[in-house]
Amino acid sequence: MHQRILIVDFGSQYTQLIARRIREHKVFSEVVPPHKALEAAQQPGLQGIILSGGPGSAYANDAPQLPIEMLDFGVPILGICYGMQWLCENLGGKVVPGESREYGFTKMQVGDTSSLFQEVDSETVVWMSHGDRVESLPQGFVRMAHTEDCPEAAIGDVERSIYAVQFHPEVGHTQQGARMLQNFLIDICKCDADWTPQDLATELIAKVREQVGEDGEIILGLSGGVDSSVVGAICQQAIGKRCHAIFVDNGLLRDGERDMVDAAFREHFDLDLTTIEAAERFLTKLSGETDPEKKRKIIGYEFVEIFREQAKRFTNANFLGQGTLYPDVIESVAAHGGATEVIKSHHNVGGLPDDLELDLVEPLRWLFKDEVRELGRVLGLPDEMVDRQPFPGPGLAVRCVGDCQPERIARLREADKVVREEFESRGEHHGVWQYFAVLTGASSVGVMGDQRTYEEACAIRAVQSNDGMTADWVYPSRECLQAISSRIINNVRGINRVVLDITSKPPGTIEWE
Ligand code: XMP
């Protein structure tokens, strides 16, 4: 049994980020809702407890609660935001509504640079997001750090090893947050930092084996992207040929994709792989639809129908394997009962019917893209597969603004091929998260060979990102832009203008739809 940090989820949008940060320090963690926390804490290996933030107020009647026995395990505890306030209310301190909300980057003065703040600067920038504040400290606690608006930005009872912070150390904007978490995990909880991506792979394989049982079979939706490829590797190592990979040519793939996926999988995997020709089926269903969400839902539905049809070919195919990642989950579903906005319905999360009749196998559901790439490497996937730029499940449809008529998709495919070739042949793709073409849906007047043209505008979209949650636009070299522009305008019929998209995420998203 590995050493464990238990994260109690009070409903913060950052809870999975805490887990990810802990993995970065090579420590295993487990996220549990408050009502399961006590039972989880009683299992072997507990080294520490983290109480997450959350939208509630610790003094409210309906505030999320934890059994008070959670404080009696004799392991260090770190409360973050709501977690801090819950600790204060339950240890004899007091929490009150703040005069104003403290949100965003905040300068914090650290008074105690031992324990939690070892090697942290005496003035450092932290990320705040809270309305309530701690008014009086529980007995035994001292103030460790403060900001202009928050006298109790960090507090602790070193004797009992209970610490609490009002800010979010897990968010990248907290400059020395990683150091603070390291102090908590390694120095205070005495974790050995020996949880590796190999351990994670072993655990995920074991979980799939357990979920599917002795003779269950998985229908795996394979897109050729890194996520579903890694799921393929996990499922294959878990249950071998009881995993049936289905690659759907939906007519929305990039140039050369079908052959590449087919060749790569046959070479590197001993999987049962079937390719389904379904371009006409998808494009017919999409015909005339211009609403981005409806397009996504149509595509998601058609994928699921195909997987259901395929499942019928096997006796025990009761499972659907998908490469869903954590960012897909949070952007596709309204978390915590509806407060969060749905940004886009990722086809493998937001588009599933209620009567699916297949249980989902989603081993990557709590991971971020860079972690999945790391996992892919330890599972033995070749670099060209692991380092591929992400390609969305709904394919070119979400880059073809408006109606996905076959000739528009073909136009976009040709333009996209040019963008990819120019980036890659110049080595300008290194370190770039995604680089592709978008058919904008806007038409404009041009002149070619003394002739008036009235054709579509194509956008070049290139972004840098760590996890797809935020992104900065990339400025390719003038030579690269020049080559893309002239090749597209000269060779791709129906496009007479090329523009560069210089929008970050937020406020834009990476894909146009
Ligand atoms: P957005 O456009 O939401 O994209 O900023 C963030 C990242 O997710 C990819 N993406 C998808 N991936 N299914 C997927 O598997 C989808 O429906 C989907 N939509 C967007 C996108 O390419 C980017 O990397």
CATH assignment of the domain containing 330: 3.40.50.620
Q: Do 254 and 382 share a structural domain?
A: yes
Q: Do 86 and 41 share a structural domain?
A: yes
Boundary (domain end) residue, out of 188, 209, 240: 188
Q: Do 326 and 246 share a structural domain?
A: yes
**Alpha-carbon gap, residue 364 to 323, rounded angstroms:** 6
Q: Do 176 and 51 share a structural domain?
A: yes
Whether 505 lines ligand 1, by a CB cut-off of 6 Å, is yes
Q: Is 384 left (phi over 0), alpha (psi -120 to 50) or beta?
A: alpha
Identify whether 170 is a catalytic site residue. Answer: yes
The residue contributing the CA closest to ligand 1 atom 21 is 392
Residues contacting 449, CB < 8 A, separation 6+? none
Residues contacting 418, CB < 8 A, separation 6+? 437, 484, 487, 488, 491, 492
For residue 508, is it within any domain?
Answer: no
Boundary (domain end) residue, out of 351, 386, 421: 386
CATH of the domain at 57: 3.40.50.880
Rounded to two decimals, the pTM is 0.79
Helix (H, G, I), strand (E, B) or coil at 465: coil
Q: Do 429 and 367 share a structural domain?
A: no
Least confident of 48-57, 343-352, 386-395: 343-352
Provide the mean pLDDT of the chain.
92
CATH of the domain at 451: 3.30.300.10
Identify whether 235 is a catalytic site residue. Answer: no
Identify whether 404 is a catalytic site residue. Answer: no
Whether 511 lines ligand 1, by a CB cut-off of 6 Å, is yes
Q: Which domain holds residue 478?
A: 406-500
143 half-sphere exposure, CB direction, 13 A CA radius? 15
**Alpha-carbon gap, residue 194 to 204, rounded angstroms:** 17
Q: How does DSSP classify residue 397?
A: G
Q: Do 379 and 415 share a structural domain?
A: no
Q: pLDDT by residue (tens digit) across 113-164?
A: 889 999 999 999 999 988 899 999 999 999 999 999 899 999 999 999 999 9
In the set 130, 168, 346, 429, the catalytic residue is: 168
CB 132 within 8 A of CB 57: yes
Q: Do 234 and 167 share a structural domain?
A: no
The residue contributing the CA closest to ligand 1 atom 18 is 392
For residue 509, is it within any domain?
Answer: no
Domain count, the chain: 3
Give the pLDDT band (50/70/90) at residue 280. very high
Q: Do 90 and 13 share a structural domain?
A: yes
The residue contributing the CA closest to ligand 1 atom 3 is 509
pLDDT at 351: 63
Q: Do 262 and 131 share a structural domain?
A: no
CA of 17 to the centre of ligand 1 (A): 19
- 391 pLDDT above the threshold of 50: yes
Q: Which helix (H) or strand (E) holds 89?
A: helix 82-91
For residue 226, is it within any domain?
Answer: yes
Mutate to test the pocket of ligand 1, among 293, 370, 387, 510 (most ligand atoms within 8 A of CB): 510
Reference 198, options 60, 374, 22, 77; nearest CA is 374
Q: Which two tokens stand for residue 494?
A: 């129906």
Q: Do 137 and 26 share a structural domain?
A: yes
Percent of the chain topping pLDDT 90: 78
For residue 83, is it within any domain?
Answer: yes
Residues contacting 485, CB < 8 A, separation 6+? 498
C-alpha pair distances (Å), 28 with each of 197, 245, 367, 369: 10, 30, 13, 18
Q: Is 497 left (phi over 0), alpha (psi -120 to 50) or beta?
A: beta
Give the pLDDT band (50/70/90) at residue 165. very high
pLDDT at 337: 34
500 vs 223: which has the higher pLDDT? 500
β-strand partners of 505: 471
pLDDT at 338: 34
CA of 322 to the centre of ligand 1 (A): 14
The residue contributing the CA closest to ligand 1 atom 7 is 468
For residue 411, is it within any domain?
Answer: yes
Whether 362 lines ligand 1, by a CB cut-off of 6 Å, is no
For residue 398, is it within any domain?
Answer: no
Q: Do 201 and 182 share a structural domain?
A: no
Q: Which two tokens stand for residue 208?
A: 């799939």
For residue 286, is it within any domain?
Answer: yes
CA of 125 to the centre of ligand 1 (A): 31
For residue 513, is it within any domain?
Answer: no
Which segments of 273-354 does DSSP mark as H helices, in order? 279-286, 292-311, 326-332, 347-350
Boundary (domain end) residue, out of 159, 188, 217: 188
Q: Do 275 and 219 share a structural domain?
A: yes
Mutate to test the pocket of ligand 1, among 344, 352, 372, 436 (most ligand atoms within 8 A of CB): 344
Residues contacting 401, CB < 8 A, separation 6+? 438, 439, 440, 441, 512, 513
C-alpha pair distances (Å), 320 with each of 231, 233, 244, 362, 418: 11, 15, 10, 8, 35
Give the pLDDT band (50/70/90) at residue 468. confident
